Amino acid sequence: MIKKSHSLLKFHGVRGSRPVHASGFLGYGGNTTCLEIETGFDFILAIDCGTGLQHISRRLRLHPNRKKIHILLTHTHWDHVLMLPLLKELANPELEVSIHAPDIGSKTFSELFETMLKLGRLPIPKAQIKCKLTFHRIQPGQTFLLEGKVKVSTFQVNHQHITLGYKIGLQDGCIAVITDTALLTADNILGQGMNERALLIGPKNFEKEYNQGLIRFLKGVDCLVFDTHFNEDNLKPNWGHATPDLAINFCIKSGIKRLFLFHHAPEDNDDKVAIKQEYARNLALHRGIQVINAREEDEWPILSA
Amino acid sequence: MANSVRIKFRGVRAIHSAPGHHNQTTGGNTSCIQIDDGSSTIFVNAGFGISAAGSDIMSARSTTGKNVDVSILFSDFLWDSTIGFLSFAPIHFKSSKIQIVTGSTVATAIDGLDDAASPFFSPFENFRGLSAKKSFIQIHEGLKIGGWDVSGLLTNNPLTPYGATIWRLKNNKGDDIGIVMLCDRSEDTLAKVGNFLSGCKTLICAATAHPEHDSWSEHRTGFEEALTLALAAKTEALFLTHFHPELDDVILQEELIKLKLSLASMRKDNPSVKLSIYLANEIEDISLATSTLIKKAI
């Protein structure tokens, strides 16, 4: 039986590190991280505010009846936040923007955003924020409801600061988004607070705890968006990024049947990104895992037909 | 001997990057201009366009074995002019020499670049900690870089408390380039800048402001102001750049046609005006031998 899906995953920016515009890169797109989940409810749900956010900005102008946005931030590196203060719609008094983000060091994201506005580095006149802007501090291992309807769970992944992976439970499926993470081993522990935990229980025990925790977190997920910035040949583990091999490994162990390769390196042109997909499909062969390259402005149902 | 000066527009966008098919002809990276004369390499601004330049320079280095030695002139320290340096490969090599030139103070430059390399927003601690040998110069009277005499005019601009610098580069071969990336369009500022650029043969000017598409037009030049400056400076070739991210290829071509019609109308009254106008783009370079755009060999 084919189950009809209402929830959609939309890719607005699929690049990691920095935006890139050049011939040979237009096929998969050059904007940095921004995804949207069409939940079937009346609010927009976005993940991260890389330059791909400009697609949502454009749509908001075309559909001014959309009055509410929830933004889940994975972390605060430029490729995930740069467009937020440049979002023109922050000047719309009819819009409600709720930002859910982890603390970074001793600062809340609300404080960091205030700093972004106050530094005098924004290439626009002093931001006139007239929308109803609210900030929600979230933590690793937390579960909360958006508008009482959409269940969101978080997991701290292996990347600088506190970087969150999100699992989003929808009416007709479940998606997990892990934009930036590296293989965690006893000698490659990157996240804020992780080393303290590793010291407490021992690095090897922490490695086991983390990896088993992430596998548990991903159980029951219908589709996974996962960092595949590197491949096994050019991997720099301490940069905090992963490979298709790691992504597929987690799919196998968590029983996930659909994988989107994401956070394409800005150095990788369309041909290289296509080769990555082919490589990953070969890895997933006979595993029953559908492997798809994330491509800017593609839309996918959360559940495959 | 043929003029060897080449100008590459590595990034032509103001405010934020705008990658995509709709900007295929013009480009989508934030601003960066590369000026090569065979003996020196000068960049103006380090938007994301500088990343590709860094890759090319490192590739060339692997052939020539020469260490990287470049200068970056900053018009301002707003993020669309700075953040790209984090992905400029030579800055991560100890052997590279990078000279930062500013019209404002050295402290302002360091602060501006440190803010862009903040550990909250980047994988680095600050700009100073990056590997390359970095030197900072505040331009006063003038500066010699390779064969160029470089001068700068620091102007007030409400977008930035540290002001915005207009650049002028002259060499002894008769090349004379004015570069306006961020400039308030008040009459007073335009008059000062026009005076500073007087007689420059080639003007590269921001055409960011747009009445329909830019709600952030204040304190920036648009197409008309660029033409005003070119006429005031009596320049021969005007290259428009630093476009608002919402001005796609189609809109930019329309604006270029409007501006050329406006110029044609002026010529009826004043036939002595000799000015050619071009849209800068990330595909073609300028050769100063002809002051026109030429296709890059790809």
How does pLDDT run across B31-56, given as a tens digit for each residue?
Answer: 999 999 989 999 999 999 999 999 99
User: Cβ separation of A125 and B160 shorter than 8 Å?
Assistant: no
Asked if A173 is an interface residue toward chain B (Cβ–Cβ < 8 A), one would say: no
How does pLDDT run across A103-149, given as a tens digit for each residue?
Answer: 998 999 999 999 998 888 988 877 678 999 999 999 999 999 999 99
Closest CA to A11 of A41, A36, A44: A36
- Residue in B closest to A109 by C-alpha: B120
Q: Specify if B203 maps to a domain.
A: yes
Closest CA to B32 of B53, B11, B17: B11
Q: Per-residue confidence at A87, pLDDT binned at 50, 70, 90?
A: very high
- Residue in B closest to A119 by C-alpha: B115
* pLDDT beyond 50 at A7: yes
For A5, phi then psi, to 5°, come to: -105, 135
How does pLDDT run across A278-293, given as a tens digit for each residue?
Answer: 999 999 999 999 999 9
User: Cβ separation of A20 and B86 shorter than 8 Å?
Assistant: no
Cα angle value B144/B145/B146 (rounded, 5°): 110
Q: Quote the percentage of chain A above a pLDDT of 70.
A: 97
Shortest alpha-carbon distance between residue B120 and chain A (Å): 6
Q: What CA–CA distance (Å, rounded) separates B123 from A78? A: 9
| Average pLDDT across chain B, whole number | 93
- The number of folded domains in chain B is 1
What is the DSSP-derived secondary structure letter of residue B27?
-
- The number of folded domains in chain A is 1
Q: Per-residue confidence at A2, pLDDT binned at 50, 70, 90?
A: very low
Q: Any idea which residue has 């994201």 for tokens?
A: A109
pLDDT the model gives residue B135: 97
Q: What is the CATH number of the domain that holds A51?
A: 3.60.15.10
- Tell me the one-letter amino acid at A119: L
Q: Specify if B164 maps to a domain.
A: yes
Strands B160-171 and B176-180: antiparallel
* pLDDT beyond 60 at B1: no
Shortest alpha-carbon distance between residue A96 and chain B (Å): 20
Q: Quote the percentage of chain B above a pLDDT of 70.
A: 95
Q: What is the CATH number of the domain that holds B162?
A: 3.60.15.10
- B195-206 residues labelled b (16+ CB within 10 A) or e (exposed): ebbeebbbbbbb
Q: How many CB atoms lie within 10 A of CB A143?
A: 11
pLDDT the model gives residue B288: 80
Q: What CA–CA distance (Å, rounded) separates B23 from A148? A: 41
Q: Specify if A202 maps to a domain.
A: yes
Nearest Cβ partner of A123 from B19, B52, B79? B79
Q: Quote the percentage of chain A above a pLDDT of 90.
A: 88
pLDDT the model gives residue A164: 98
Q: Per-residue confidence at B291, pLDDT binned at 50, 70, 90?
A: low
pLDDT the model gives residue B298: 35
Q: Per-residue confidence at B292, pLDDT binned at 50, 70, 90?
A: low
Mean pLDDT of B98-122: 95
Q: What CA–CA distance (Å, rounded) separates B168 from B180? A: 9
Q: What CA–CA distance (Å, rounded) separates A51 from A33? A: 7
Instruction: Tell me which residue range forms the domain holding B21.
Output: 6-295
Q: Specify if A3 maps to a domain.
A: no
For residue B134, list its beta bridge partners: B98
Q: Specify if A76 maps to a domain.
A: yes
Asked if A53 is an interface residue toward chain B (Cβ–Cβ < 8 A), one would say: no
Q: Per-residue confidence at A219, pLDDT binned at 50, 70, 90?
A: very high
Q: What CA–CA distance (Å, rounded) separates A150 from A100? A: 14
Q: Which two tokens stand for residue B23?
A: 């900007």
* pLDDT beyond 90 at B242: yes
For residue B277, list its beta bridge partners: B238
DSSP A202-222: -HHHHHHHHHHHHHHHHTT-S
Q: Specify if B117 maps to a domain.
A: yes
pLDDT the model gives residue B130: 96
pLDDT the model gives residue A304: 67
Instruction: Tell me which residue range forms the domain holding A266.
Output: 8-296
pTM of the model: 0.95
* pLDDT beyond 70 at B290: no
pLDDT the model gives residue A3: 44
Q: Any idea which residue has 């002019």 for tokens?
A: B81
- B117 in Cβ contact with B84 (< 8 Å): no
Q: How many CB atoms lie within 10 A of CB A201?
A: 11
pLDDT the model gives residue B172: 93
- B277 in Cβ contact with B263 (< 8 Å): yes
Q: Specify if B1 maps to a domain.
A: no
pLDDT the model gives residue B297: 41
* pLDDT beyond 90 at A154: yes
Q: What CA–CA distance (Å, rounded) separates A174 from A5? A: 11
Nearest Cβ partner of B21 from A22, A26, A240? A26
Q: Specify if A303 maps to a domain.
A: no
